[in-house]
Amino acid sequence: MRLIPETHIDFAGKRRVFFGISALLVLVSVGSLVFRGFRYGVDFTGGSLLQIRFENRVTIDAMRSLLAGVGEGGASIQQDERGDFLVRVKPRDFGGRETFGSVLGRELTRQFPDNPFEVLREETVGPQVSKELQGKVLLAVALGLVGILIYVSFRFNLQFGVAAVFSLVFVTLIELGFLSLVGMEITMTVIAALLTVIGYAVNDSIVVSDRIREDLRKIRKETFTQIVNRALNETLSRTVITGLSVFFVLLALLVLGAASIKDFAAIMLVGMVLGTYSSIFVVANAVVEWEQKFPSKRRR
């Protein structure tokens, strides 16, 4: 099935324009990371998180006053469109077997006796565990990128491997900039989404790289740049169909899904667009630029 008819777009010829757009995106992302930074969730800072739903809507001011009454006046409080509260507090020892959830539950029952509530989610992470998670996340991302470099270099060659890793770094950096700009909390769910995006992006890159390799073997009379353009145009329909399929599924999850998966869907949605963009405009064009600077023996 070809969603897009046969095309003859000069992707490689316009690579400097796409490099400029990519550089601008990176600049915005780095600027946001430097000046705004991240909002880390309980997974990485330690503390407790509770998601609470009341039968009858409660104002955020009433909840803030109640938390101040239990010594948590500095707690982070968010209320969504349904009226559910997301409460985060720093690590604190309540003594014995008491937890923040049990203390808050008693106070809610006392303050709102005629308004039943339900604790939809409760998470507690110690500061030592949160530090360990930070280190493990960085290690997981680094090992993933190294593994991809080795795999793609082995399957294709070094220039494709470096281009693929360069593309993944680009996608990851823009995603992190997006998280910083919108103020989304960094949680384990967010990290899982980022790693999934890396997998999606490298899959797209391998499809394009594979077609370039096939055309290099079959076609001898065209230049390297012409062959790359041919490969990109041949895979364009497949890339768009795959991207749209994933896009509509993620859009449905973002609009209709539960609050717990909306962050995952939002990151995946942005990542899917970035992965598609990078496979066409970053990976292939980076390989062309490499070939222009350091021609392979086959093309000399």
Highest mean pLDDT among 84-88, 127-131, 174-178, 191-195: 174-178
The closest alpha carbon to 168, from 199, 191, 189, 192, belongs to 199
* pLDDT value, residue 129: 52
Mean pLDDT of 91-99: 65
Residue with tokens 């308004």: 115
Question: Whole domain around residue 85: which residue ranges?
Answer: 47-125
Higher pLDDT, 110 or 130: 110
**What is the longest distance spanned by two Cα atoms in the chain?**
82
Question: Is residue 52 located within the same domain as residue 84?
Answer: yes
Question: Is residue 140 located within the same domain as residue 109?
Answer: no
Say whether pLDDT at 127 is over 60.
no
110, 125, 140: which is the final residue of a domain?
125
Vertex 297 angle, CA 167 and 299, to 5°: 75
* pLDDT value, residue 128: 54
The closest alpha carbon to 100, from 125, 130, 65, belongs to 125
Question: Is residue 94 located within the same domain as residue 138?
Answer: no
Question: Is residue 192 located within the same domain as residue 240?
Answer: yes
Higher pLDDT, 268 or 258: 268
> What's the mean per-residue pLDDT of the chain?
80
Say how far apart CA 206 and CA 209 lie, in whole Å: 5
Question: Is residue 116 located within the same domain as residue 21?
Answer: no
76, 109, 125: which is the final residue of a domain?
125
Say whether pLDDT at 130 is over 70.
no
Question: Is residue 203 located within the same domain as residue 119?
Answer: no
Contacts 24+ apart (CB under 8 A), 160-163: 160/209, 160/212, 160/213, 160/283, 160/287, 162/286, 162/290, 163/205, 163/282, 163/283, 163/284, 163/286, 163/287, 163/290
pLDDT-derived band of residue 300, with 50, 70 and 90 as boundaries? very low
Question: Is residue 88 located within the same domain as residue 187?
Answer: no
- Tens-place pLDDT, residues 132-156: 666 777 787 778 777 777 877 777 7
Tell me the torsion sign for CA atoms 60, 87, 85, 188. Answer: positive
Q: How many domains does the chain have?
A: 2
* pLDDT value, residue 86: 81
Is position 2 within any domain? no
